[in-house]
Amino acid sequence: MGGCAKEDVSYLDRRFSKKVRDNVHGNIYLDPLSLKFVDTEEFQRLRDLKQLGLTYMVYPGAVHSRFEHSLGVFSLAGEAVHRIKAQQGSELGIDNLDIQTVKLAGLLHDVGHGPFSHMFEHEFLHRISHGIKWRHEDMSVRMIDHIVDFHHIDIDAECLKKAKEMVIASTEHVSHRSVNEKHFLYDIVANGRNGIDVDKFDYIVRDSRACGLGCSFQIERLMDSMRVMGDEICYRDKDYLTIFKLFSSRADLHRTVYTHAKVKAIELMFVDSLIKADDYLQISSKIQDPAEFWKIDDSILKTIEVSHEQELKEARDLILRIRKRDLYQFCNEFSVPKDKLEHFKDITPQDIVCSQGNGDMTLKEEDVAVCNVKIDLTRGRSNPLEK
């Protein structure tokens, strides 16, 4: 029988678990099946992926990794499903199989993530893959299958199937989830319905702390009030403000950290460096094969920087500029009023070049980088609190 058998050790029996001390959530207990995934080179790779990519070059404390974030989501996912079981277990039919599945989904949701946070996926691959759609959620699913097959992990087939469905539950694949199977469980790790999930619970608090910012969002308050109604996880109406703080804290992180002008300048420079290095290092050729993709991590930067190969000179020079703080210059920004968004199209370098006046210097398109950033409450112009 696979590792997700219903006679798994109970939540309170930690004799067979490994204790890890986390600086956000305290003690985290890894059960035997989860440890089989953690103790693989594919999962350990997450130690070498900084959660916020190159942000540490502006916020020095932002050096935490996808590894600790994944352990944090694992811990919160387990805590969430156990609290629901304690309140409504008899009516919802939650069993150990469900608990193990949700915990695995939390643990493995980022195992297919690319290096340098979302820059690799949204900037580098977007520019170099010529229209090929690639998402880390899909790679996580493929990486999970690779780990199970390569390391011969004994796991219940249904547990594995549902855990992978939970990983991609916030994407359009949400309709592929198992039918008639406790849909509320899919709200826990990656909530495609309203965006309230333990993934955000962890990274909002963890990122805020690492960057030295305050965070008014209270995880414990929401964890304590979650209830299942109509096969969906719901919260008390008096927790409206707490939920609003969740989304507003996320938006504040985007404004002050993730899209900080210096952070964006460094990211744009490094994307240019990666593009110049790609033909030689063959980075983009490894994005479809989990057996090769897991070998890509943040060490790419140092590989380029210390190389003496002539083929990497242009890429190396850009990294040297970053080190010497000779960054692309931030010129201006424009905030589009909400009532104009519907008729507003993304600005391109061509638009900037065409609108320049007669001056001493004439810009070309390759001289201009434009970032069109949309910061909202995860649901565009809709209010997620309505769901």
Would you say 42 and 146 are in contact if contact means Cβ atoms under 8 Å apart?
Answer: yes
The residue with greater pLDDT, 131 or 118, is: 118
pLDDT tens per residue across span 31-81: 999 999 999 999 999 999 999 999 999 999 999 999 999 999 999 999 999
Instruction: Give me the chain's average pLDDT, please.
Output: 89
Beta strands in the chain (DSSP E): 18-22, 26-30, 227-229, 232-234
Taking the C-alpha atoms of residue 120 and residue 267, their distance in angstroms, rounded to an integer, is 9
- Rg of the chain's alpha carbons, rounded to an integer? 22
In contact, 39 and 68? CB cutoff 8 Å? no
Secondary structure (H, E, C), 256-288:
HHHCCHHHHHHHHHHHHHHHHHHHHHCCHHHCC
Q: Give the separation between CA 387 and CA 196, rounded to whole angstroms.
A: 10
Comparing 14 with 123, the larger pLDDT belongs to 123
Task: Please write the tens of the pLDDT for every residue from 146-190.
Answer: 999 999 999 999 999 999 999 999 875 455 455 557 999 999 999
Q: Using DSSP, state whether 220 is helix, strand or coil.
A: helix
117: left (phi over 0), alpha (psi -120 to 50) or beta: left
Range with top average pLDDT, 14-23, 282-291, 357-366 = 282-291
Where do we find the tokens 């083929």?
311
* 304 pLDDT above the threshold of 50: yes
Instruction: Indicate yes or no: pTM above 0.95.
Output: no
pLDDT in tens, 236-291: 989 988 998 999 899 999 999 999 999 999 999 999 999 999 999 999 999 999 99
Q: Is 146 in the active site?
A: no
Comparing CA positions, the residue from 236, 205, 211 lying closest to residue 75 is 205
Task: Spell out the domain ranges in the chain.
Answer: 18-260
- If you average pLDDT over residues 116-135, what whole number do you get? 88
List 109, 113, 136, 146, catalytic entry: 136
Which phi-psi region, left, alpha or beta, contains residue 383 (left: φ > 0; alpha: ψ -120 to 50)?
beta
- Please say whether the structural domain 18-260 has been given the CATH code 3.40.50.720: no
* Cα angle for residues 179, 171, 203 (degrees, 5° grid): 115
Top pLDDT among 87 and 172 is at 87
Rounded CA separation 166/190 (Å): 7
As separate numbers, helices (DSSP H) first and strands (DSSP E) second, the chain gives 16, 4
- Structure-model confidence comparison of residues 83 and 362, the more confident one: 83
